[in-house]
Structure 1
């Protein structure tokens, strides 16, 4: 059974919530609710394959305890691809270990590598099929020493990935 419709604000009554998994549902293209950024204790957030639409709310950057953020491929075949032009809010997630944004349109996110470079604890990064075309190498130095999984498949890089 899949969940559908709106997500109730009454979830905010769960003050100690640490794990929220809304993956594999059909929310009909609604935007990810901004109030999800209010869960101060949240460590795991999975919204993948849930047919959310619109922009990712920057309020998710308030989830400073977050270790896992999975937004990958959460649009369905009948909804527009979700895009993100400004990723700066991700840089506030210093405890993030796992980030999956596969299938999102990041073609306008010229700061993606700069932002990823600010995540010192990142072990897994999944950016498959994100319409990335270059690495924007104006980043002075890349410090991703904790990274053990890097998925950049199905992109169209016009610059070398390693230099």
Structure 2
């Protein structure tokens, strides 16, 4: 079965959709480019799924501006099946997540969190979080309270 996917650049004209509450761009191919900074300007979003995209680089902090988000999917960003090489997008500074006070569901599966600073403390500041996915996120040490 041949699947049609969005390819190329994500246009900033999406910002004209001022009342947009649900955006699912999962399973598309944006050529390994970084997540566009303007994504953080879609302030009415309650659902954002960027899972399994062909974005690359480091996740920028701008999605932290989306204070109404209930669901954020960032899982399995960049995979290369053709070369049997797994390349993952990384998140080093997770501090921007602390502004997402209504977030219920967070999927970080497949993101390289091995260099994430204070990730567990940041996750613990999300008062509404009920579901967290960290599958294959390259966390080597999960601290447990004494």
Structure-1-length-normalised TM-score: 0.81
- Per-residue CA distance 1:38-59 (angstroms, 9 max, x = gap): 0110000000011110111101
**Post-superposition offset of 1:134:** 1.5
Find the counterpart in structure 1 of residue 60 from structure 2. 57
Cross-structure match for 2:75: 72
Give the secondary-structure state (helix, strand or coil) at the position aligned to 1:20: strand
Residue of structure 1 in register with 2:95 after alignment: 88
Counterpart-to-counterpart distance in 2, 1:46 and 1:131:
21
Deviation at 1:71, TM superposition (A): 0.4
Higher relative contact order, structure no. (Cα contacts within 8 Å, ≥ 6 residues apart)? 2
- How far is the alpha carbon of 1:80 from its aligned partner? 3.0
Do 1:67 and 1:98's aligned partners in 2 also have CA atoms closer than 8 Å?
yes
TM-score by length of 2: 0.90
Q: CA deviation at 1:162?
A: 7.1
Displacement of 1:79 = 7.0
Q: Mind listing any 5+ residue stretches in structure 2 that lack a counterpart?
A: none
Q: Distance in 2 between matches of 1:110 and 1:64?
A: 21
- Contact 2:103/2:126, CA 8 A, preserved across alignment: yes
SS of 1:26's partner is coil
Question: Following the alignment from structure 1 to structure 2, what is the Cα–Cα distance between the partners of residues 103 and 79?
Answer: 9
Tell me which stretches of 4 or more aligned residues in structure 1 moved more than 4 Å. none
Structure 1 residues 119-138: Cα deviation after superposition (integer angstroms, max 9, x where no partner): 010011000111111234xx
TM-aligned CA deviation for residue 81 of structure 1: 1.2
Match of 1:109 among 93, 108, 116: 116
2:17 is the alignment partner of 1:14: yes
Aligned to 1:40: 43
- Which segments of 5 or more consecutive residues in structure 1 lack a partner in the other structure? 137-160
Count of residue correspondences: 139
